Amino acid sequence: MAATEPKGHGQHAGMWVFPDATLMTAEMGEKTKAMPRAFTLGLAVAGILFILGIVGFIARAADNGFDEIGPWGYYMAIFSMVFMVTSGAPLAAVAFRFTKSHWRRPLSRVAELFSIVGILNLLMFIPLMFLLPDIANPGEVAEGSLAVRRTIWFEGPIGAPHAWDLVGVAFLTITSMAILWLSAIPDMAECRFTATGFRRTLYSRLSGGWYGTKRQWNSQKAGLALLGAFYFMILVFMHFVISSDYAQSLIPGWKDSIFPVIYTITSLQMGLGAILVALFIMRRWGGYEGYIGKSTFWSASKVLLGITLLWVYHLFAFFITFWYGRMEIEQNIIKYLVTDTYAIIFLLNLIFSFAAPFAVLLWNPVRRSAWGPALAGVMVLFGGLMFNIRIFVGSANAAPGADLFKPIMEHVPAPVYPDIWDVFMVIGGLGATVFIYLLATRVLPVMSLWEMKEGTLYQKWGKFIRGEYLILGKPE
């Protein structure tokens, strides 16, 4: 183990770890190559679920085709869930790097690796492109019907929304992969001479002429900052687009300016939750306890608590604005998505996206542990799944056929329960995410070597009068 004993006294016992930079590369290389039994078992289970998901998809396509969006509600939900996690997690890496915090170092690469799962996400999106109804009313514009349904694209420029959505999702995936690549260059360069097999070829090709000169480091820093800002902007935009096109605009009369914001916040919450779960697994079973101190959990869980509170706040803002006015369409939306049709799913959503993680994260000793934030992470992931089912199954089945072009949703539809293919697709999506992520951890070191080594330069343990405390360097 490259690490020294964890430091910290009193309530902060064991908070900080100070890994040995000289041993880091070799250890990380070994761990990347290793295929321990538990890991292969996890990979196998995830792979089986992935296959089940493909089976479910093919069966659904055979049964219903791609004409009506209604039967694909659960597919939309799992696409959205994977989209939220894979887009939200890299944002955590970008945001915490932007704030120059030191505790983020262990989680940077863990977060960025989710962008590889973004490729799956892009592939999952393609059928959705065909499923999305056109903006223009294909049938006769009857009395009380709209010629063009209400979307963020208004009259609909050429290709809207299908092509634009695809281009947007592709852009998002490419940008997150670019951030991963740029961030991984120094690590790949460092490992290219000791790696063997396909890793050696890959690292040599992808790290190019990196030798760690001052100029190269400065360019990498600037590039990460610029790409990070660009990623943030395109993420917010694509969340706005996907949440509007595949949810809001499919429920006639649902005019909700805060929904894209709720969508983004749920995505950030789930992304951070996934990162915390991954960090816990790495620390507990992956042998990374010398690299991931409790300080990372302590600080990240504060952010998760804040996001959780923000989530319920935005939900309440939506709810009370709709509830108060007593307008028929708004009352119908509330009945559909909150109190009647999907009431149980909403309750589970509220409990697992807010009440339970809040109850867990409120306590200082729990936030200081590794298991507490990870437990909250699992809860918010489940809560997010409930959110996506409620919204996307709801929107896919809100207004079948010509009802989609009515100005408002006049009747509150009944709930749509999943059949076996829906269950396969949902667990398949989750399994596929885990499967691809686990594979990705065998390709690249799961911890950012250069950031961890940089951290050892700026984080020390030192004496102050009669006590010993953390010394944090502040280079800028």
**Under the rule (CB under 8 A), what is the footprint of other proteins?**
9-10, 12, 15, 99, 150-152, 154, 236, 240, 255-261, 298, 302, 309, 313-314, 316-327, 457-458, 460, 462, 464-467, 469-476
Q: How far is the CB of 337 from other proteins (least distance, A)?
A: 13
- What are the structure tokens assigned to 295, written together? 């300080």
Long-range contacts of 185-189 (CB under 8 A, 24+ apart): 185/210, 185/220, 186/210, 186/212, 186/217, 186/220, 186/449, 186/450, 187/109, 187/444, 187/445, 187/448, 187/449, 187/450, 188/444
The total of other beta-carbon atoms located within 10 Å of residue 57's CB is 19
- Closest to other proteins by CB, 317 vs 443, is 317
Q: How far is the CB of 195 from other proteins (least distance, A)?
A: 29
Q: How far is the CB of 318 from other proteins (least distance, A)?
A: 5
Distances (CA, A) of 458 to 40, 118, 300: 36, 33, 19
Question: What is the distance between the alpha carbons of residues 187 and 16, in angstroms, rounded to a whole number?
Answer: 23
- Closest to other proteins by CB, 166 vs 470, is 470
Provide the b/e sequence for 167-196 (b: ≥16 CB within 10 Å).
Answer: ebbeebbebbbbbbbbbbbbbbbbbbeebe
Q: Of 389, 302, 387, 393, which is closest to residue 353 (Cα–Cα)?
A: 387
Q: How far is the CB of 242 from other proteins (least distance, A)?
A: 15
DSSP state of 464: E
Cβ neighbors of 442 (< 8 A, separation 6 or more) are 32, 33, 35
- Closest to other proteins by CB, 417 vs 464, is 464
- Closest to other proteins by CB, 66 vs 469, is 469
Q: Helices (DSSP H) in 326-419: which residue ranges?
A: 328-334, 343-350, 356-361, 364-368, 371-388, 394-396
- Closest to other proteins by CB, 76 vs 303, is 303
Dihedral sign (CA 368, 369, 370, 373): negative
- Closest to other proteins by CB, 140 vs 476, is 476
Q: How far is the CB of 323 from other proteins (least distance, A)?
A: 5
- Closest to other proteins by CB, 10 vs 139, is 10
DSSP code per residue over 72-99: GHHHHHHHHHHHHHHHHHHHHHHHHHHT
- Closest to other proteins by CB, 285 vs 316, is 316
